[in-house]
Amino acid sequence: METRSLRGKFLDFCMQCLSLNSPTARLVVFGIGIAVLTFVDIRALGLPNLCIWERLFGYCPVNGVTRGLSAFFHGEWRSALSYNVSIAGLIPIIIGLVVADVWRVANTLFRMEHGTALLSPLLGWRKRFTFR
């Protein structure tokens, strides 16, 4: 049986993160994105508007979302809404996805260590779950 090298495992994980097909990959990507939007003030960089939709049609429904998220993570909620109103619906979706993925990863780690689902001992379930 051949073992994969550390480089091969790292490249596989990077491809998994790019495809967002697992909770761990989504947590890594969301974590990096939230960290960048929190620590770098995108609005102060003065980046040009590269939106193709706005250039073609004169209007883009998601124009200002990145600046709005940056303002939100800097604590400027009114400013975030002024960039794009869809931030009010996007923030709960992001929070829900992060919480759901944290729950899945925690449940998987707990199941690997204890052989049962995370809430099973609390609810009195004795059945051990097997997942393939």
pLDDT over 60 at 128, yes or no = no
What tens digit of pLDDT does each residue of 77-103 get? 899 999 889 999 999 998 998 888 888
Distance, in Å, from the CA atom of 30 to the CA atom of 17, rounded to the nearest integer, reads 10
Structure tokens at 48: 């040009």
Contacts of 98 (CB under 8 A, 6+ apart): 27, 30
pTM of the model: 0.65
Instruction: Provide φ and ψ at 7, rounded to 5°.
Output: -65, -40
DSSP3 helix / strand / coil % (the chain, rounded to 5)? 65, 0, 35
Contacts of 61 (CB under 8 A, 6+ apart): 53, 86
What pLDDT band is residue 1 in, cutting at 50, 70 and 90?
Answer: very low
